[in-house]
Amino acid sequence: MTQRARIVIVGCGFGGLFSARALRHTPADVLIIDHNNYHLFQPLLYQVACAALAPADIAQPIRTIFRPQQNARVMLADVSGVDLAGRAVIAGNSRLPYDYLILAPGAVDNYFGHPEWSAYAPGMKAVEEATLIRSRLLRSFEAAEIEADAAERAAHLTFIIVGAGPTGVELAGAIKELAVDVVARDFRVADTRQARVILVEAGPRVLPALHPDSSARALAQLQELGVEVRLGAPVTQVFADGVELGGARLRSHNIIWTAGVRAAPLTAALGTPLGPGGRVRVERDCSVPGHPQAFVIGDAAHLIDDATGQVVPGVSQGAMQMGRYVAGIIDAELRGRATARARGFHYRDLGSMATVGKSRAVVELGRLHFGGLLAWFAWMALHITVLIGFRNRLAVLSSWIYSYVFFRRGSRLITNLEPAAVCEPIAPATASAPTEPRS
Amino acid sequence: MTQRARIVIVGCGFGGLFSARALRHTPADVLIIDHNNYHLFQPLLYQVACAALAPADIAQPIRTIFRPQQNARVMLADVSGVDLAGRAVIAGNSRLPYDYLILAPGAVDNYFGHPEWSAYAPGMKAVEEATLIRSRLLRSFEAAEIEADAAERAAHLTFIIVGAGPTGVELAGAIKELAVDVVARDFRVADTRQARVILVEAGPRVLPALHPDSSARALAQLQELGVEVRLGAPVTQVFADGVELGGARLRSHNIIWTAGVRAAPLTAALGTPLGPGGRVRVERDCSVPGHPQAFVIGDAAHLIDDATGQVVPGVSQGAMQMGRYVAGIIDAELRGRATARARGFHYRDLGSMATVGKSRAVVELGRLHFGGLLAWFAWMALHITVLIGFRNRLAVLSSWIYSYVFFRRGSRLITNLEPAAVCEPIAPATASAPTEPRS
């Protein structure tokens, strides 16, 4: 009896998840390694940050997902490197040998050479970041409530989102709604309806990856909601209490970074040429140059689709399609069949969408571009359908219906902000401030 | 126009919450201060620790609770002291003057002079502790899965709960079920059904506050589930990898402390005589001796009910009843009516219950003591009914139905364990261990 082929998949985002599932009938042992024990449905992470969903609503244990898949095993570990020549993955003190490797480590926040900004402007890639942003948002309202100084109170009620991609746009809309519709009636002194939400974008339009039609539509929707949008405004400095935009300073105690991502640091450990944002320059078949058994997919891969001349975008669709494509190659090779290597990977754009608060969205499906309530229903339907796991679909749907009907958000918890302390309280500025009710 | 009376309530557990609500028609300004922004439904906190519920399911924003109460304001702050003579609460740099004070700061874990044990054996009082315990539990199964050494694997699959009060009993049952029914099929190597759950109690019976009937019933139910119960076994030492019981050492990487509570540290700052567990020795009317305008209620108060000669127990019912009682005194005095001060506070035991895993429980209602499925339904009905907030009731009920029908738990997230690191991964011990499937 010859040994079964060993396939190691690093990372269980959309790319890793879809490749592992596509290998379910492959005669091989599939090992899925991730540093989290859950697959995170990242498109909805902003809803955790704005207190609409609980983390468990958008995270499903990887083990539960692969319970029925007989050839799959799951390992919780941090992969520190890959020995491409020796065909082994390094995790802690272990070497995990492979016959095929699929690297899908995903992306991290990109501060473009200013890692020190992360302390003032957390990003939105991990559950821990989303709950941190949630706690900071909710504490801003609390701080405004007890702040006697008007300018300081205004700074607590100013929220700056840097970067107007889908996450930035969706977050801006959701924060504005949180301030206006959800928490306003909970405060006696601070008027949270006056909160300023400022979406800052270096480029000339919001949602730069979408068609200009959709950008214009989303911009109008954001402005209807009351979000201030600053276009062509690159952030040149980030402070604890604001940002600098073209020489001018905007005060805020709450800055969120959605300006860009780069590949996970693991890519740098491969010793192979990297493209923009630390992405691995892969071959047409997603393999690492010189190592046809090792593939890099998803946000960590840089691939120019030779059919279109375009870079495959760092979106979940791209990662899923790459995952299925490389799984197909591996399955075919293990069965001695013809593979799609020579054909190369081709990205199929299935459409894009982004939501701008409740009952507003923009959708692009091929040449069909539309917005408004219909787009919002399309967005809802798609996200509910794709959400992994029966319980999560139900939980998310009921949370959404609840917040839609009652203008409430169910996950408004301020949890441990400063990791070392059990709870760092806000020191009220003066005793007199809170006793003057809002007129 | 004379100034309205100022009532300050410190802490929004059951005592603070019920006193504030009982003051809703009182002609006074009521200020509720808490260091969390939510009221926590503590009786279900153990369900967060064992991954059945999400934190948001059992926590409701205090502001939302008091939104309709016109005379109430809410402040997020940490109270560091009370100037009883000057009638002011100290929070941060502020002095908050009061005409009446209700101190309901609750309880914290009691390590009986060994605070260093808390690092190895976290307690169960706060949301952050419950999510820490959840992460540790889930990581123990992960560690067992990749551990090659059999003794070490057994230590990862041994869970020790110190203290067999209601929280300890409920947690022991829930962890056993987690290991046997929920996660077993997710692991390929480790047999989590072999997990040992050991409930350790210094006294002679479980649920010591209940009738011996109920203790015997709960003990039988725990043993049916497969929980090992060690009675008359005081813990003499706690280590990172186990506990010492009467000279013998029990190995475990997962120790949970439910052995007792003491009053919140604020009580020590009052400068008034303290009783057992740092509780304030209050007068018959719950007031601080010499300060009839200042009351201490709930877990922070030590009061002997002169009708029964018994100490009022540190349970939610006691806190609620005290809260309503002191609110009645304050309301009557402000309206110039006769008060119940002279009558003193009398605790009315409305019954006790504890659940031991799915479909098992014990209930005491007066002389009626029963167990089994009926008791479990009674437990469910009561907890759902009392849960604060419409959304939470629905969310909790749907989570329970889901886990009952599908043997699953929806909140199996390992989040940030070591506060400083984003995620500290488990280093697999050897590469070979995970490749041998369980026979």
CB-based contacts of A116, cutoff 8 Å, min separation 6: none
Q: Hey, are the CB atoms on A413 and B59 less than 8 Å from each other?
A: yes
More confident residue, B74 or A410: B74
pLDDT, one tens digit per residue, over B82-98 is 999 999 999 988 999 99
Percent of chain A's residues with pLDDT above 70:
93
Average pLDDT of chain A is 90
So what's the pLDDT on residue B200?
97
Q: Which of B4, B2, B1, B9 is nearest to B324 (CA)?
A: B9
Helices (H) and strands (E) in chain B, counts: 10, 27
Nearest residue of B to residue A146, measured between CA atoms: B75
Q: Hey, are the CB atoms on B394 and A391 less than 8 Å from each other?
A: no
Distance between CA atoms of residues A32 and A375, nearest Å: 36
Nearest residue of B to residue A389, measured between CA atoms: B410
So what's the pLDDT on residue A416?
64
Q: Does B95 touch chain A (CB under 8 A)?
A: yes
Whether the per-residue pLDDT at A420 is higher than 50: the answer is: no
CB-based contacts of B439, cutoff 8 Å, min separation 6: none
Query: Do you know the residue count of chain A?
Result: 439
Torsion sign (Cα): A338, A343, A345, A346: negative
Judged by phi (left if over 0) then psi (alpha if -120 to 50, else beta), residue B314 lies in: beta
Confidence of residue A418 (pLDDT cuts 50, 70, 90): very low
Confidence of residue B218 (pLDDT cuts 50, 70, 90): very high
Confidence (pTM): 0.89
Whether the per-residue pLDDT at A205 is higher than 70: the answer is: yes
β-partners of residue B79 are B91
pLDDT, one tens digit per residue, over A378-403 is 888 888 887 777 667 777 777 777 77
Rounded to the nearest 5°, which phi and psi values hold at B259? -85, -10
Taking contacts as CB-CB distances below 8 angstroms, the residues of chain A near B67 are 185-186
Whether the per-residue pLDDT at A428 is higher than 60: the answer is: no
pLDDT, one tens digit per residue, over A14-62 is 999 999 999 999 999 999 999 999 999 999 999 999 999 999 889 999 9
Q: Does A182 touch chain B (CB under 8 A)?
A: no
Q: Which of B225, B236, B148, B237 is nearest to B189 (CA)?
A: B148
Give the SS3 label for residue A281. Answer: strand
Q: Which of A86, A97, A57 is nearest to A397 (CA)?
A: A57
Which pair of tokens denotes residue A6?
């060993």
Whether the per-residue pLDDT at B48 is higher than 60: the answer is: yes
So what's the pLDDT on residue A320?
95
So what's the pLDDT on residue B386?
80
- Summarize the confidence of residues A216-231 as an average pLDDT: 96
Q: Hey, are the CB atoms on B425 and A76 less than 8 Å from each other?
A: yes
So what's the pLDDT on residue A2?
63
Residue B167 vs residues A109, A177, B357, B404, B410: alpha-carbon distances, Å: 41, 39, 12, 20, 21
Catalytic residue list contains A129: no
Cβ pair A403, A410 in contact under 8 A: yes
Cβ pair B400, B380 in contact under 8 A: yes
Tell me the nearest-neighbour CA distance from B131 into chain A, angstroms: 10
Whether the per-residue pLDDT at B144 is higher than 70: the answer is: yes
So what's the pLDDT on residue B257?
97
Which pair of tokens denotes residue B171?
């947690």
- In terms of Cβ atoms closer than 10 Å to its own Cβ (0-12, 13-18, 19+), residue A33 is buried
Whether the per-residue pLDDT at A263 is higher than 60: the answer is: yes
Taking contacts as CB-CB distances below 8 angstroms, the residues of chain B near A393 are none
Q: Hey, are the CB atoms on B423 and A78 less than 8 Å from each other?
A: yes
Most A-contacting residue of B178, B409, B414, B436 (CB-CB within 10 A), to test interface: B414
Distance between CA atoms of residues A119 and B395, nearest Å: 34
Q: Hey, are the CB atoms on B38 and A427 less than 8 Å from each other?
A: no
What is this model's ipTM?
Answer: 0.86
Long-range own/partner contacts, residues A245-252 (CB < 8 A, 24 or more apart): A245/A200, A250/A158, A250/A160, A250/A198, A250/A200, A251/A151, A251/A154, A251/A155, A251/A158, A252/A155, A252/A158, A252/A159, A252/A160, A252/A198
Q: Hey, are the CB atoms on B391 and A410 less than 8 Å from each other?
A: yes
Taking contacts as CB-CB distances below 8 angstroms, the residues of chain A near B187 are 63
Cβ pair A364, A12 in contact under 8 A: no
Cβ pair B24, B9 in contact under 8 A: no
Torsion (CA) B323, B326, B328, B330 in degrees, nearest 10: -130
pLDDT, one tens digit per residue, over B395-439 is 777 777 777 777 677 788 888 654 332 223 333 333 333 334 444
Q: Hey, are the CB atoms on A145 and B75 less than 8 Å from each other?
A: yes
Whether the per-residue pLDDT at B376 is higher than 80: the answer is: yes
Rounded to the nearest 5°, which phi and psi values hold at A273? -60, 135
Residue whose structure tokens are 């809309």: A173
Cβ pair B388, B65 in contact under 8 A: yes
Give the SS3 label for residue B16. Answer: helix
Tell me the nearest-neighbour CA distance from A128 into chain B, angstroms: 7
Cβ pair A287, A103 in contact under 8 A: no
Taking contacts as CB-CB distances below 8 angstroms, the residues of chain B near A414 are 36-38, 76
Candidate from A63, A127, A431 with C-beta closest to B415: A127
Residues 11-40 of chain A whose Cβ lies under 8 A from any Cβ of chain B: 29, 31, 35-38
Distance between CA atoms of residues B39 and B17, nearest Å: 8
Distance between CA atoms of residues A235 and A207, nearest Å: 17
Cβ pair B157, B190 in contact under 8 A: yes
Cβ pair B53, B44 in contact under 8 A: yes
Per DSSP, the residues of A72-93 read EEEEE--EEEEETTTTEEEETT
Which pair of tokens denotes residue B88?
């002011």
Q: Does B429 touch chain A (CB under 8 A)?
A: yes
Q: Does A359 touch chain B (CB under 8 A)?
A: no
CB neighbours (10 Å) of residue B125? 22
CB neighbours (10 Å) of residue B291? 17
In the set A129, A145, A170, A364, the catalytic residue is: A170
Instruction: Report helix, strand and coil shares of chain A as percent, to nearest 5.
Output: 35, 25, 40
Confidence of residue A439 (pLDDT cuts 50, 70, 90): very low
Distance between CA atoms of residues B141 and B119, nearest Å: 20
Whether the per-residue pLDDT at A429 is higher than 70: the answer is: no
So what's the pLDDT on residue B433?
36
Q: Hey, are the CB atoms on A413 and B77 less than 8 Å from each other?
A: no
